[in-house]
Amino acid sequence: MTDPFQLTEDQLAIQEAARRFTADAITPHAAEWDEKHVFPKDTIKTAAELGFAAIYVSEENGGIGLGRLEAALIMEAMAYGCPSTSAFISIHNMASWMIDRFGSAELQAKYLPRLVGMDWMASYCLTEPGSGSDAAALKTTAVRDGAEWVINGTKQFISGAGENDLYLTMVRTGEDGPKGISCLAIEKDMPGVSFGAPERKLGWHSQPTASLILEDVRVPAENLVGAEGQGFSIAMQGLDGGRLNIGACSLGGAQRCLDEALRYTKERRQFGKAIADFQNTQFTLADMATELEAARALLYLAAAKVTAGAPDKTRFAAMAKRLASDSGIAIADRALQLHGGYGYLQDYPVERFWRDLRVHSILEGTNQIMRLIVGRDLLKE
């Protein structure tokens, strides 16, 4: 951004490319993906041809080397068509970036050529059945045995589980707490890797979610991402960007809901005139638009801070994710209400967005944890 209020020409071009891709390849099909639980692999791989699978992977490793604001613009644009599909691509980007940023040269050469083009798809694996918000309490173990790590444990709510090829997995290699956690790259076909049944979810139907089960899985020592004991730090740094992207997906979904509400209220007539002509409707639309723009401004600022490595980047990423996801849920809910009974039908897209956006206040750290991060950081000053 040249100033706090204007995107650069390059950023506008990136945004427009993502919007065109969404209009052509995502929006016309998203309702069917949702209804039939279709995982649109071909569409996702087409996104990779535009560089959207390696947005902030370095150009040296085949990525397009953009910043977090550019990534947010892309995710926001794609979420206008389907928040679920956009979020899946975000998670793949997070995993690819972790290898690019922290992996050895050998590990980068081993995996990034396949991840950049989405010949392989990657998952981020932190949450466990017994450790969600208390992520540092994870129990999955990795015990060193010669030139290998032997892994045992279960990861829960993993996007792409069973379909993806690579799993960036946080495991316990040492003491209790965050300092005993490391990150390992685990391949789908390694002996001992299996998956739970697909989860039956309220939304996010265009991507599979299941548990990752690890039973005496032998992983080469060279698949350690970063240093031993660095895994929790890597996971948290990944989440700074992941939270921005999920917030951006909320913005894109909320913008779609606002646009649908504007269109519907202009067309729907009651008491002899369009319901958009009633002051109550206008007040609701005004609040929706105001909250959306406020959340967008904060998220773009937070993205610039994460790209710059600002000291308060984690706080701002948490603030932006909290505001954008809460606002997205509220805007979707009011858009559905403005549609009346029709909003509750699958014939209209707002019910799908209402379902898809609801989870954004839970994943990538619940919004209660976002408040905790912000509060603790404020009290340090």
**Annotated catalytic sites, by residue?**
364
User: CB–CB of 76/64 below 8 Å?
Assistant: no
The CA radius of gyration of the chain, in Å to the nearest whole number, is 21
User: CB–CB of 87/79 below 8 Å?
Assistant: yes
User: CB–CB of 171/148 below 8 Å?
Assistant: no
| Residue 253: its H or E element | helix 231-267
What contacts 288, CB < 8 A, 6 or more positions away? Answer: 254, 257, 258, 261, 331, 334, 335
Calculate the alpha carbon distances from 266 to 167, 285, 332, 334 in Å: 47, 12, 18, 16
Bridge partners of 218, per DSSP, are 150
Instruction: Indicate the DSSP class of residue 93.
Output: H
Which runs of E-coded beta strand occur in 63-165?
A: 122-125, 141-145, 148-159
User: CB–CB of 123/167 below 8 Å?
Assistant: yes
Question: Which of helix, strand or coil describes residue 307?
Answer: helix
Transcribe 313-347 into DSSP letters: HHHHHHHHHHHHHHHHHHHHHHHHHHTGGGGGSTT
Give residue for tokens 């279960």.
154
Other C-beta atoms lying within 10 Å of the C-beta of residue 10: 10
